[in-house]
């Protein structure tokens, strides 16, 4: 798909973004581990999450859509998945593939996982290593890539796993496997990463303890073989999706928008911090709790923005938002320096290179290091007038469509069909607010 974004006027309106992708994957998987029926509301109906849903159905979990639009999941209990008759295809869902591997580790049958071309190139070794220590057997392609055969055990060995690099997906896979191990399984992480799994596990009755260690690291421990209670799981709006609207409204003169029910987990709001430091006008409400997750409305108005230095330790709280932050930096005044970006090289694409190449094509000065990026903004709209190959990466596609709305000349984006993996209805919602995005050609 080829989309074109042209210079837009002020954005205005009150909208709601789709459900959080990270929470949606977890809600379906953890609901499957409960005893009874769980009602999941606000589920992201993007391709990634639907791939996880299909895989769970193939594993014997009953999932139906109610007349109210909610998803009703018939839990099979911890260790109750059934051996699939075919290959589990996770499409482009890296979160789905890695977390599901943790669940499959606790089942004494062999499963086969695959995905699309992009997912088959992404590393699985960081998940495989700790799960092997717990007793799971794997057969993978070179480089520990999909397709992958997983042979689990009914009773895994509990471990204490020290993560070399903070990763919410690896942590979650180990904790989910730990549900099937007698005793306590712990993950020690060098820096805080997304804690959605821990919050949701506590919500359904699991014993999960987070402890600060003397050396600055954290230990997260789950007690295995629980009986988990079926409780409603509301999914908040995805802050990673709201980020595109926030940046566009901050930079388009005269804009004022409100986004309702956005997830405000403090381990996901690094972009909010960056935009505030740059001078953005952002307000939020007092918040509420949804299955342990804080959420609130967010209001954004146009403001002039200045460059900042983004510390490496902020990366885990905004790793998916660096593409759109780079767009904000392209219109801010001065040099914005971003550090600790190595993880961007193993996403749906090499996002770091994609950001640098795309900004350069649009007339923005950039300097790229191995794990860093410097973006020099003038405070004015960049030239634009280029075509960006998104490499089938949804966040790259949406980021450069936003840049097209902010540039002097239109920007066309190819490979934009994967936007539906995380933000179905993105183009329609942006145009409703006042953007100008259409199908090119």
Domain containing 87: what range? Answer: 21-226
Mean pLDDT (whole number) for 112-134: 95
> Does residue 400 lie in a domain region?
yes
Same domain, 196 and 82: yes
Contact in structure between 102 and 177 (CB atoms under 8 Å): yes
CA 285 to chain centre: 23
Same domain, 157 and 287: no
Residue with tokens 């979990």: 61
Q: Which residues are catalytic?
A: 320
Burial 36-59 (b: 16+ CB within 10 A, else e): eebbbbbbbbbbbbbbbbbbbebb
SS3 at position 115: coil
> Does residue 305 lie in a domain region?
yes
Residue with tokens 């993950």: 187
Which tokens go with 340?
């600790």
Task: Give the integer Cα–Cα distance in Å for 187 and 171.
Answer: 6
Q: How many helices (H) and strands (E) does the chain have?
A: 12, 26
> Does residue 195 lie in a domain region?
yes
Predicted pLDDT at 255? 98
Same domain, 25 and 12: no
Same domain, 217 and 280: no
Residue 103 backbone dihedrals phi, psi, to 5 degrees: -70, -45
> Does residue 326 lie in a domain region?
yes
> Does residue 231 lie in a domain region?
no
- Which of 167, 202, 226 finishes a domain? 226
Same domain, 322 and 194: no
CATH of the domain at 263: 3.65.10.10
183-240 confidence digits (pLDDT tens): 999 999 998 999 999 999 999 999 999 999 999 999 999 999 999 999 999 999 999 9
> Does residue 279 lie in a domain region?
yes
Task: Give the integer Cα–Cα distance in Å for 66 and 308.
Answer: 47
Same domain, 42 and 9: no
Please name the residues in contact with 218: beta carbons below 8 A apart, sequence gap of 6 or more: 188, 189, 192, 210, 211, 212
Same domain, 59 and 194: yes
| Number of domains making up the chain | 2
Same domain, 314 and 299: yes
- Which of 208, 226, 244 finishes a domain? 226
- Which of 226, 256, 272 finishes a domain? 226
Same domain, 314 and 371: yes
Same domain, 221 and 327: no
195, 291, 273, 428: CA torsion to nearest 10: 120
Output Rg (C-alpha) for the chain, integer angstroms: 21
239-281 confidence digits (pLDDT tens): 999 999 999 999 999 999 999 999 999 999 999 999 999 999 9
56-73 confidence digits (pLDDT tens): 999 999 999 988 889 999
> Does residue 54 lie in a domain region?
yes
pTM here?
0.91
Q: Which helix (H) or strand (E) holds 199?
A: helix 196-203
Spell out where 57-204 has E strands: 62-65, 71-76, 88-89, 110-114, 137-141, 145-151, 160-162, 184-189
24-37 confidence digits (pLDDT tens): 999 999 999 999 99
Q: How many CB atoms lie within 10 A of CB 340?
A: 18
Predicted pLDDT at 358? 97
Same domain, 402 and 434: yes
Mean pLDDT (whole number) for 5-22: 97
Same domain, 73 and 202: yes
> Does residue 25 lie in a domain region?
yes
């Amino acid at each position: 798909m080829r989309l074109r974004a042209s210079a837009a006027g002020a954005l205005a309106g009150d909208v709601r973004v789709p459900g959080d992708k990270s929470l949606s994957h977890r809600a379906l998987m953890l609901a499957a581990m409960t005893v009874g029926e769980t009602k999941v509301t606000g589920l992201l109906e993007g391709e990634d999450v639907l791939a996880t849903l299909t895989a769970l159905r193939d594993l014997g979990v009953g999932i139906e859509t109610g007349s109210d639009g909610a998803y009703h999941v018939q839990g099979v209990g911890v260790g109750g998945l059934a051996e699939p008759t075919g290959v589990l295809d996770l499409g482009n869902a890296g979160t789905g593939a890695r977390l599901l591997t943790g669940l499959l580790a606790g089942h004494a049958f062999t499963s086969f996982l695959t995905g699309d071309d992009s997912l088959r190139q992404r590393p699985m070794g960081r998940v495989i290593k700790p799960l092997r220590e717990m007793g799971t057997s794997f057969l993978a392609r070179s480089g520990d890539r999909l397709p992958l055969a997983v042979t689990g055990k009914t009773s895994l060995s509990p471990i204490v796993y020290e993560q070399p690099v903070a990763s919410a997906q690896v942590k979650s896979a180990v904790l989910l496997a730990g549900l099937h191990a007698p005793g306590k399984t712990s993950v020690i992480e060098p820096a805080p990463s997304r804690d959605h799994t821990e919050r949701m596990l506590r919500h359904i009755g699991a014993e999960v303890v987070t402890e600060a260690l003397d050396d600055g690291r954290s230990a997260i421990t789950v007690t295995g073989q629980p009986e988990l209670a079926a409780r409603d799981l509301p999914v908040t709006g995805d802050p990673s999706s709201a980020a595109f609207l926030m940046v566009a409204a901050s930079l388009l003169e005269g804009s004022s928008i409100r986004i309702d029910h956005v997830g405000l987990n403090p381990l996901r709001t690094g972009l909010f911090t960056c935009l505030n430091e740059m001078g953005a006008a952002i307000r939020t409400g007092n918040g509420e709790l949804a299955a342990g997750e804080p959420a609130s409305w967010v209001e954004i108005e146009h403001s002039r923005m200045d460059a900042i230095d983004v510390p490496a330790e902020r990366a885990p709280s905004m790793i998916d938002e660096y593409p759109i932050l780079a767009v904000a930096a392209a219109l801010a005044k001065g040099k914005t320096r971003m550090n600790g970006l190595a993880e961007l090289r193993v996403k749906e694409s090499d996002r770091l290179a994609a950001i640098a190449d795309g900004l350069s094509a649009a007339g923005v000065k950039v300097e790229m290091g191995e794990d860093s990026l410097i973006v020099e903004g003038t405070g004015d709209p960049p030239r634009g007038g280029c075509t960006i190959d998104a490499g089938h990466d949804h966040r790259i596609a949406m980021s450069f469509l936003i840049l097209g709305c902010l540039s002097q000349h239109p920007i066309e984006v190819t490979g934009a069909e994967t936007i539906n993996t995380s933000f179905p209805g993105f183009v329609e919602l942006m145009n409703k607010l006042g953007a100008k995005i259409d199908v090119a050609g």
